[in-house]
Amino acid sequence: CWAVVTVTVTPKVEVIKGESASLPCTFKITPSPNNIVEWFIEEGGTRKRVAFRSVSGGEVKSDEGTRLSDRVTMGRDFSLTISPVAVEDQLPFYCQVTAGPAGVGEAITQLKVF
C-alpha cells in the first residue's frame, strides 16, 4: 500500500488592501503519521517559509525576517491569515504538508489584492 499526501487549497483568494485574507489548506494522508504543515511565499524566484505548525497540536510558529513576519497567523485548521493585507502581498502562497514516509504534498494559492 503506497502512502499518498493530497493537499487542497483555494486556487485564488481575492481581498481588499487593508483587510484580512484567509488562505485555507486541507489535506489527506494515508497512512497518517506525525506531519507538519508549512506555508511559503515565492518572491524573486525563491521560496521563503512564513509559518508552520505540527499537526499533532504543536504551537504555530511564524518565521522572522519575511515581509509577513508580524502579520501572519495559522489557525487550528491550518489556514493562513494575513492581516492587514498589503498590495505587495499579491504573491503565490504554497501550503506544504510533510508527512514522513508518506512523502510531501503541496498546493498553490494565488493571493489577489485590490
Residue among 104, 85, 103 nearest 23 (CA): 85
Predicted confidence (pLDDT) per residue in 70-111, tens digit: 999 999 899 999 999 999 999 999 999 998 878 899 999 999
What average pLDDT does the chain have?
90
Number of domain units in the chain: 1
Band of pLDDT at residue 12, cut at 50, 70 and 90: very high
> What is the domain-level CATH number for residue 97?
2.60.40.10
Percent of the chain with pLDDT over 90: 66
Indicate if the pLDDT at residue 1 is higher than 60. no
Enclosing domain of residue 96: 4-113
Indicate if the pLDDT at residue 2 is higher than 80. no
In the chain the beta strands, taken as DSSP E runs, fall at 4-9, 12-15, 21-23, 25-30, 36-43, 46-54, 61-62, 72-74, 80-82, 92-98, 104-113
